[in-house]
Amino acid sequence: MNILDMKFMKNFIKITEDAWLKGWHERNGGNITYRLTEEEVNEIREDLNEEASFQPIGVTVANLANEYFLVTGSGKFIRNISLNPSENVGIVKVDESGENYKIVWGLENNARPTSELPSHLMSHSVKKEKTNGLHRVIMHSHATNVIALTFVLPLDGKVFTRELWEMATECPVVFPDGIGVVDWMVPGGADIARETAKLMEEHNAVIWAHHGIFCSEATLDLTFGLLDTIEKSAEILVKVLSMGGKRQTIKPDNFRDLAVDFKVELDEKYLYETDLVNA
Ligand code: 13P
Ligand code: ZN
pLDDT values of the chain reduced to their tens digit, one per residue, 279 residues = 899 999 999 999 999 999 999 999 999 999 999 999 999 999 999 999 999 999 999 999 999 999 999 999 999 999 999 999 999 999 999 999 999 999 999 999 999 999 999 999 999 999 999 999 999 999 999 999 999 999 999 999 999 999 999 999 999 999 999 999 999 999 999 999 999 999 999 999 999 999 999 999 999 999 999 999 999 999 999 999 999 999 999 999 999 999 999 999 999 999 999 877 644
C-alpha–C-alpha distance, residues 275 and 247, integer Å: 10
Going by alpha carbons, the residue nearest to atom 1 of ligand 1 is 74
Q: Is the CB of 115 under 6 A from ligand 1?
A: yes
Q: Is the CB of 141 under 6 A from ligand 1?
A: no
Predicted local distance difference test score (pLDDT) of residue 275 = 77
Predicted local distance difference test score (pLDDT) of residue 278 = 47
The residues whose Cβ lies within 5 A of ligand 2, an ion, are 212
Residue pair 103/48 in contact (Cβ under 8 Å)? The answer is: no
The bound ligand whose nearest atom lies closest to the alpha carbon of 207 is 2
Predicted local distance difference test score (pLDDT) of residue 100 = 98
3-state secondary structure of 67: coil
Going from the Cα of 166 to the center of ligand 1, the distance in angstroms, rounded, reads 31
Going from the Cα of 15 to the center of ligand 2, the distance in angstroms, rounded, reads 17
Predicted local distance difference test score (pLDDT) of residue 277 = 61
Q: Is 116 a catalytic residue?
A: yes
Q: Is the CB of 31 under 6 A from ligand 1?
A: yes
Going from the Cα of 105 to the center of ligand 2, the distance in angstroms, rounded, reads 24
Q: Could you give the strand order of the β-sheet that contains 137-141, starting from the edge strand earlier in sequence?
A: 55-56, 100-106, 89-94, 68-72, 31-35, 137-141, 212-217, 205-208, 179-182
Q: What's the predicted TM-score (pTM) here?
A: 0.97
Predicted local distance difference test score (pLDDT) of residue 274 = 86
Q: Is the CB of 80 under 6 A from ligand 1?
A: no
Enumerate residues 6+ apart whose C-beta is below 8 A from 97. Answer: 60, 62, 65
Outline where DSSP puts E strands in 142-220.
179-182, 205-208, 212-217
